[in-house]
Amino acid sequence: MGRTKEDASIGIIGMGDMGKMYAQRLSDAGWRPENFESLKQEFASQKGVTIFPNGHLVSRISDYILYSVEAGVIDKVVAQYGLSTKVGAIVGGQTSCKAPELAAFEKHLPSDVEIVSCHSLHGPKVNPQGQPLVLIQHRASDESLKFVENILSSFGSKHVHLTGEMHDRITADTQAVTHAAFLSMGTAWHANTQFPWEHGRWVGGIENVKINITLRIYSNKWHVYAGLAILNPAAKQQIRQYAESVTDLYKLMIGGQREELKRRVKAAGASVFRPGSEGQDLLLKDEVLDRFSLSNRPREKAPPNSHLSLLAIVDCWSKLGIVPYDHMICSTPLFRLWLGVTEYLFRNQDLLEEALDTAIDDSTFRSDDLEFTFAARAWSDCVSFGDFESYRHRFERIAEYFAPRFPEAVTLGNEMMKTILEKTTSNN
Ligand SMILES: NC(=O)C1=CN([C@@H]2O[C@H](COP(=O)(O)OP(=O)(O)OC[C@H]3O[C@@H](n4cnc5c(N)ncnc54)[C@H](OP(=O)(O)O)[C@@H]3O)[C@@H](O)[C@H]2O)C=CC1
Ligand SMILES: O=C(O)C(=O)Cc1ccc(O)cc1
């Protein structure tokens, strides 16, 4: 078709956080994205960006059109603008779950339109340099794939080529279950009316990661997490298994079944953290993690914690036959942190023994773990029922509780991510 990136016109439909990030980065590189009227002001000084009042005007003049809207409305939005797509253009989407996105493209786009979708595996505030960027050549020539790769090359991201189906399976393993764990932590703290940074029980590196990531998620938009969990069929099963693992381990803890608990957790650990990996560097180290505390309490020795959330993720991975290291190439920053803290616990035999003995002998964490168990099951039900409104309600109620600390948590969380990400690239 003879398109070159120099004279290509790039259209973005959905100028939210991700759409704006793409617009800024693509225009820096000399292309033109667009959107609607209210953004004119914001982008007035950004060279190469034209804001249009609607997706029809974007679609009819663009060579590559990227839908960056909420996953739950993708069908409606493509139905709305799809027929205005320029003849012979390429269309893609940025939603976090590809099955509904690709189905919407197939259903509503004219047959001369090619489809190359994408997914930046990080949030809008993370530098895309070196982060994974999934590309899906769904209905397109090799030449058109190259054209899109060329356009997005200015991000400096690592291109990962997958089918839509592979993408959804991997992101269910990496994203959906990770979010379920942190959402459950926030729910449990809220249920016990705790702000964890105000307690001596949650000090130290692992706890800093738990608190900062939980607040980071709740300070974000609910629909991002709801969409990628509810619309991805593989996610339901993963999240359900996580809730079952939490419940089973909690029952062993309150039943005082020390030997059975140790046997089960260690067997799961052996299948996830394969023998022979002992000599390898840990993804995260305590001196790094210790720096990022929301608490102004003096740093004491971290008190023992049962770490139910971490024991359960390893049990869950083991039950589903998931080896999380296999997904590093397609991992998000949060997943790498989550794997990092889990590995930190499981590759330190003393720490793991201490957590397991604490779970049996020390009742300090019982009520927290009880609420965590309820929370994991409730999030799993919410996702299984496919209920966006109740997801939104649960999410926003808890977000409101933590909101006063968001500004501080986001600043600290960004710093923590930046430092830790330098040490945990997706190559690890
Ligand atoms: N945030 C993140 O960390 C990441 C998000 N994603 C995915 O990217 C997509 C966008 O997410 P994000 O930018 O965070 O969410 P936002 O809510 O910030 O952006 C979504 C945007 O789509 C717009 N929109 C909805 N319907 C239409 C329409 N008919 N015409 C034009 N615009 C429309 C919304 O406008 P309005 O507000 O006016 O309704 C909003 O600006 C989602 O599918 C998400 O899953 C992918 C990677 C990371
Ligand atoms: O890193 C994470 O898991 C995030 O929460 C940010 C995020 C959210 C949605 C995506 O589709 C990709 C990245």
Lowest mean pLDDT among 75-84, 190-199, 362-371: 190-199
- Report residue 107's pLDDT band, with 50, 70 and 90 as the boundaries: very high
Cα of 390 vs its chain's centroid, Å: 20
Tell me what the mean pLDDT of segment 100-111 comes to. Answer: 98
For 402-417, letters b (16+ CB in 10 Å) and e give beebbeebbebbeebb
Residue 211, ligand 2, Cβ within 6 A: no
Atom of ligand 2 nearest to the CA of 122: 13
Residue ranges with strand state E in 68-131: 90-93, 114-120
Read off the tokens for 179: 């979010």
As a whole-number percent, the residues of the chain with pLDDT over 70 amount to 85
> Going by CA atoms, what residue is nearest to atom 26 of ligand 1?
69
Rounded Cα gap, residues 177 and 233, in angstroms: 13
Tell me what the mean pLDDT of segment 126-131 comes to. Answer: 90
Top mean pLDDT of 204-213, 242-251, 345-354 is at 242-251
Residue 183, ligand 2, Cβ within 6 A: no
- Report residue 58's pLDDT band, with 50, 70 and 90 as the boundaries: confident
| pTM passes above 0.80 | yes
Residue 69, ligand 1, Cβ within 6 A: yes
Q: Reduced to 3 states, what is the DSSP secondary structure of residue 10?
A: strand
Q: Write down the ipTM of this complex.
A: 0.98
Residue 240, ligand 2, Cβ within 6 A: no
Residue 342, ligand 2, Cβ within 6 A: no
Query: Would you state the pLDDT for residue 122?
Result: 92
Is the pLDDT at 140 greater than 90? The verdict is: yes
- Report residue 302's pLDDT band, with 50, 70 and 90 as the boundaries: low
Residue 98 Cα to ligand 2 middle (Å): 14
The rounded mean pLDDT for the chain is: 87
Query: Would you state the pLDDT for residue 341?
Result: 86
CA atoms within 13 Å, Cβ hemisphere of 135:
20
β-pairing, 10-13 vs 64-67, is: parallel
Query: Would you state the pLDDT for residue 428?
Result: 44
